Amino acid sequence: MAILATADKLLKQHKLIEAIAEYTSVITTLLRSPPSTLPADTISSAYNNRGQCHYLQVEFSKAVSDYSEALVYKPDNAIALYNRAQIKYRLNNFAEAKTDILEVLKVDPEFSDAKSCLTAIENAACTKNSPQES
31-81 per-position pLDDT tens digit: 998 878 889 999 999 999 999 999 999 999 999 999 999 999 999 999 999
pLDDT of residue 126 exceeding 70, the answer is no
What's the confidence (pLDDT) of residue 132? 45
Q: What is the pLDDT of residues 81-125, one digit of tens each?
A: 999 999 999 999 999 999 999 999 999 999 999 989 888 888 886
Q: What letters, b where the CB count within 10 A reaches 16 and e where it falls short, cover 46-67?
A: bbbbbbbbbbeeebbebbbbbb
Task: pLDDT band for 128, please (50, 70, 90 cuts).
Answer: low
Asked whether the beta carbons of 11 and 52 are under 8 A apart, the reply is yes
Q: What is the pLDDT of residues 15-30, one digit of tens each?
A: 999 999 999 999 999 9
pLDDT of residue 130 exceeding 70, the answer is no
| Torsion region of 16: left, alpha or beta (phi above 0 gives left; psi -120 to 50 gives alpha) | alpha
CA distance 9 to 81: 23
CA of 4: how far to CAs of 32, 38, 100, in Å?
16, 15, 26
What's the confidence (pLDDT) of residue 123? 86
